[in-house]
């Protein structure tokens, strides 16, 4: 954040941000284009991020994490995403969807078994809510878990699971009582090395290509009842509560992508000449830069504010849904606005794979889709504001 802003960072925040920035510039930026091209999972850099504490930033040290606050998580994720949003996706799912869920809803035994490895980056965690026939409308999911004594038997197909091709553990949401719809969903911690679990084909994607995404398949998979997270039927509530945390991560990711595109655009506008002037001297370009910067800073304020709201709620146990949804909605639309303008400012070079601008443009789009589309964020915000049942 530049200037004398509302948010003052502590020395600890500044140090963490600098460490993330140096790591992202030195280790991630040089390989980002190659991994985007091949779609290969960046295991080596992710392992290094684990060693630096980036895979479980808010998890207490006793459970293998870095024991820092939500703003630290946002600052580090923003820097990682400036270099490569795909690394950011893997980091964000690990931190705010898997670790946050186990920390918030897990028993001591579950934390002991599932949190330590994932928070320290030695194991990878995934979150699986979506199915081929149920995305925004999670209550229509078709996968099933049927209780048999001290375990459940799971059957079904889940889709679009980030990190699934490499995940050691998956937080799975599945139906235990289909009659009850949303209230019939339960959450389970799944070991991917057990019989009955299979990974489907990797999805070829427009952007964040190095973050592996695939279907996962369950065929008579036996999960002990002690692996259920929360009570039977509490899965939907847990899924939504965890997405509050996830959405702050996606807002930070959008900030990182937009920030990188903006900085490149300023530099290009200062150098590139046309009609005997720097292109930045044309109002048509300069005003675009002004709008990019203004929206970026507004998105940053909403995102940091959501981080502070989450931090406060750690004490009270309250939800921070409104702050998280507004940050995600505005930051993701800002990322699209800024990267679209960045391609335009770079002209033909914006369209070339010789520069990262086209990658930023492709990567930005996902932030408007996953962890609740922009339409779903608007529904959530409007529902909270009006108390009406908006569909
Ligand atoms: C790269 C990638 C990674 C992903 N990772 C994960 C993951 O790790 N775990 C996971 O569980 N899921 C994941 N997802 C799934 C993602 O969360 C869903 O794609 C998203 O929630 C939208 O669901 P859908 O694709 O089924 O779209 P649909 O729900 O079918 O929506 C289609 C369109 O209709 C609109 N729409 C739907 N309902 C309404 C309404 N009531 N009012 C107005 N408009 C509406 C939507 O906004 C959208 O524009 C991932 C998706 C992608 C692309």
For residues 243 and 236, the answer to whether their CB atoms sit within 8 Å is no
β-bridge pairing 169-175 and 125-128: parallel
* pLDDT, tens digit, 9 for 90 and up, residues 182-238: 999 999 999 999 999 999 999 999 999 999 999 999 999 999 999 999 999 999 999
- Is 46 in a helix, a strand, or coil? helix
Which of 369, 374, 391 gets mutated to test ligand 1 (max ligand atoms within 8 A of its CB)? 369
The mean pLDDT value for 136-142 works out to 94
Assess whether the C-beta atom of 122 lies below 6 angstroms from ligand 1. Answer: no
**pLDDT for residue 2 is more than 60:** no
Radius of gyration of the chain (CA): 21
Of 11, 33, 13, 15, the residue nearest 23 (C-alpha)? 15
Gap between the Cα atoms of 59 and 76, Å rounded: 14
- For residue 372, the CA-to-ligand 1 centroid distance in Å is 6
Gap between the Cα atoms of 299 and 258, Å rounded: 10
- For residue 369, the CA-to-ligand 1 centroid distance in Å is 6
* pLDDT, tens digit, 9 for 90 and up, residues 47-73: 999 999 999 999 999 999 999 999 999
Assess whether the C-beta atom of 205 lies below 6 angstroms from ligand 1. Answer: yes
pTM of this prediction? 0.98
**pLDDT for residue 328 is more than 90:** yes
Assess whether the C-beta atom of 132 lies below 6 angstroms from ligand 1. Answer: no
Assess whether the C-beta atom of 136 lies below 6 angstroms from ligand 1. Answer: yes
Torsion of CA 47, 49, 53, 58, to 10 degrees: -110
* Paired tokens of 101: 């869920």
- For residue 130, the CA-to-ligand 1 centroid distance in Å is 8
Q: How far is CA 288 from CA 103, 126, 168, 283, 322, in A?
A: 43, 38, 45, 8, 29
For residues 82 and 17, the answer to whether their CB atoms sit within 8 Å is no
Please state the separation of Cα 22 from the chain's center in Å.
Answer: 21
Q: Whose CA is nearest to atom 30 of ligand 1?
A: 135
DSSP state at residue 281:
G
* pLDDT, tens digit, 9 for 90 and up, residues 259-300: 999 999 999 999 999 999 999 999 999 999 999 999 999 999
Assess whether the C-beta atom of 359 lies below 6 angstroms from ligand 1. Answer: no
pLDDT of residue 7: 76
pLDDT of residue 4: 61
Long-range pairs for 206-209: beta carbons < 8 A, 24 or more residues apart:
206/362, 206/365, 206/366, 207/85, 207/86, 207/359, 207/362, 207/363, 207/364, 207/365, 207/366, 208/85, 208/86, 208/88, 208/89, 208/363, 208/366, 209/35, 209/36, 209/37, 209/39, 209/86
* pLDDT, tens digit, 9 for 90 and up, residues 298-319: 999 999 999 999 999 998 989 9
Backbone φ, ψ for residue 127 (5° rounding) = -135, 125
Average model confidence (pLDDT) across the chain: 97
pLDDT of residue 1: 47
* pLDDT, tens digit, 9 for 90 and up, residues 24-37: 999 999 999 999 99
Q: Whose CA is nearest to atom 26 of ligand 1?
A: 135
**pLDDT for residue 3 is more than 50:** no
Least confident of 25-29, 136-140, 354-358: 136-140
Which of 160, 164, 172, 333 gets mutated to test ligand 1 (max ligand atoms within 8 A of its CB)? 160
**For residue 83, what pLDDT band results from cuts at 50, 70 and 90?**
very high
For residues 251 and 205, the answer to whether their CB atoms sit within 8 Å is no
- For residue 262, the CA-to-ligand 1 centroid distance in Å is 28
Gap between the Cα atoms of 66 and 54, Å rounded: 8
Assess whether the C-beta atom of 213 lies below 6 angstroms from ligand 1. Answer: yes
* pLDDT, tens digit, 9 for 90 and up, residues 155-191: 999 999 999 999 999 999 999 999 999 999 999 999 9
Gap between the Cα atoms of 80 and 74, Å rounded: 10
- Is 3 in a helix, a strand, or coil? coil
- Is 216 in a helix, a strand, or coil? strand
Q: Whose CA is nearest to atom 7 of ligand 1?
A: 161
For residues 284 and 108, the answer to whether their CB atoms sit within 8 Å is no
Gap between the Cα atoms of 360 and 268, Å rounded: 15
């Amino acid at each position: 954040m530049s200037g004398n802003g509302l948010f003052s960072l502590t020395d600890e925040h500044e140090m963490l941000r600098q460490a993330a920035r140096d790591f992202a510039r030195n280790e991630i930026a040089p390989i980002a284009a190659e991994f985007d091209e091949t779609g290969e999972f960046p295991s080596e850099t992710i392992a290094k991020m684990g060693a630096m504490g980036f895979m479980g930033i808010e998890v207490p040290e006793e459970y293998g994490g870095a024991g820092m606050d939500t703003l630290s998580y946002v600052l580090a994720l923003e820097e990682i995403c400036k270099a490569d949003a795909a690394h950011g996706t893997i980091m964000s799912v690990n931190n705010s969807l898997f670790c946050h869920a186990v920390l918030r809803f897990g028993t001591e035994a579950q934390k002991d078994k599932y949190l330590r490895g994932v928070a320290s980056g030695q194991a990878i965690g995934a979150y699986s809510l979506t199915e081929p026939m149920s995305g925004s409308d999670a209550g229509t999911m078709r996968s099933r878990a049927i209780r048999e004594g001290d375990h459940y038997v799971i059957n079904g197909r889940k889709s679009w699971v980030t990190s699934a091709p490499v995940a050691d553990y998956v937080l799975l949401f599945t139906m235990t009582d289909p009659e009850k719809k949303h209230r019939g969903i339960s959450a389970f911690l799944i070991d991917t090395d057990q019989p009955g679990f299979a990974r489907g084909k990797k999805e070829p994607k427009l952007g964040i290509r190095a973050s592996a995404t695939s279907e996962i398949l369950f065929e008579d998979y036996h999960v002990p009842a002690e692996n259920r997270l929360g009570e039977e039927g509490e899965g939907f509530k847990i899924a939504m509560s965890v997405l509050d945390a996830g959405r702050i991560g996606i807002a930070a990711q959008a900030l990182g992508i937009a920030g990188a595109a903006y900085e490149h655009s300023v530099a290009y506008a200062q150098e590139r000449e046309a009609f005997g002037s720097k292109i930045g001297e044309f109002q048509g370009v300069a005003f675009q830069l002004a709008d990019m910067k203004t929206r970026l800073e507004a998105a940053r304020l909403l995102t940091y504010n959501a981080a502070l709201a989450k931090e406060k709620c750690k004490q009270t146990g309250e939800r921070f849904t409104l702050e998280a949804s507004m940050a995600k909605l505005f930051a993701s639309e800002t990322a699209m606005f800024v990267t679209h303008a960045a391609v335009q400012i770079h002209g033909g070079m914006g369209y070339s794979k010789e520069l990262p601008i086209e990658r930023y443009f492709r990567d930005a789009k996902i932030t408007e889709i996953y962890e609740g589309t922009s339409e779903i964020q608007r529904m959530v915000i409007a529902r909270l504001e009006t108390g009406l049942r908006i569909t």
